Amino acid sequence: MTLFALAEELSIAMAPLHDHYGAWAVVTGASDGIGRAIARQLAADGLNLVLVARRRERLEALGAELSAGCGIEVRPLSIDLALPEGPERLLSATEELEVGLLVAAAGFGSAGRFLDADRESQLAMVDLNCRAVAALAHGFGQRLVARGRGALVLFSSLLAFQGVPLAANYAATKAYVQSLGEGLRHELAPAGVTVLVAAPGPVHTGFAARAAMRLNRAQQPEEVARETLAALARGGTVLPGVLPRLLGCLLRLLPRRARVRLMGSVMAGLVWPREP
C-alpha cells in the first residue's frame, strides 16, 4: 500500500461515515442480530437509515428508538427479500434517496443433513442468501458507481471457505457471497466504490435457534458490527473477532479435504439431536 493510499484510508476511517458515504444507508436483516447492531452503530454516526426486514413491528420499534436517540431519519420497510419481487421493491422504494452504503445482512441457515431438510426451505435459503444479495449488489452498485463513491457490505461466513457437512447448503450460499464480494471489490474500486465481505464465526442471534444449533462460544452481534464497520475503509474480507481469525488461520494451513472433515466434526458438536 502506498503512503497516499494509507493516508486516504486513515482519513476515511477517522471521519464520520456520513461525511464519506452520504446521507443514507440501507441495512437488510435489521430486525435482529448483526443487522440490528450495525443499524445502531450507523445511526450513532449520523446516517439516515432504511431498515429492511420482514417483521414490521420490530423495525418500527427500532426506527423510533434510533430517530429519537440519534436525531436521524429512519424509514422501516417490511419486505421479504427471499421473494422474487423483494429486491425490486427495495430498489424502487429507495430510488429517490442518496444511498451511499448498503449493508446486506439478511440471511438464514440450517444445520443437519441436507437430505433430511425441507426442500422448499433450502431453496428459500438460496433465494435470500444468494439471489437477493446479487440483485441488491447489482442495483445499488450501479447507483454507487454513478455517484463515484459508496460502499457495499456483504456477509459471508467462516463456513464459506470449504464445504461443510451438516451445513452443506448454507456454506455453499456463503461461498457464493464470498466469491461475489471478492470479485466486485476489484471491479468497483476504480469507480470509487468499496466492497467489504465480513465472514464471522458463530454469533448469538436468532440464527442459531432457526438453524437448530447450540452455541457455547459465540460472539455478540455488537462486536461483529463494530469490527466490520472498522474495516469498511479498506474493503476486502474481514473475519471479525479473535477466535474466528485464529480458526481462519488454522484452516488456511490445511488441505481443503482436511478442512471439510474438520468443519464437519465441528458442526456435529453444534447440531441439536433430532427428536426420535
Catalytic site includes residue 170: yes
d(CA 76, CA 210): 23
DSSP 8-state assignment for residue 97: S
Burial label for 116, CB within 10 Å (0-12, 13-18, 19+), is exposed
d(CA 166, CA 263): 9
d(CA 184, CA 136): 13
d(CA 154, CA 150): 14
Is there a contact between 50 and 75 (Cβ–Cβ < 8 Å)? yes
Please name which of 155, 192, 44, 18 lies closest in space to residue 98, comparing C-alpha atoms: 18
Residue whose grid cell is 502506498: 2
User: Considering 18, 36, 174, 185, which one is annotated as catalytic?
Assistant: 174
Is there a contact between 128 and 108 (Cβ–Cβ < 8 Å)? yes
Catalytic site includes residue 38: no
d(CA 42, CA 108): 23
Strand partners, 210: none
d(CA 49, CA 39): 7
User: Considering 170, 196, 202, 229, which one is annotated as catalytic?
Assistant: 170
How far is Cα of residue 257 from the mean position of the Cα atoms in its chain?
27
What is the set of active-site residues?
170, 174
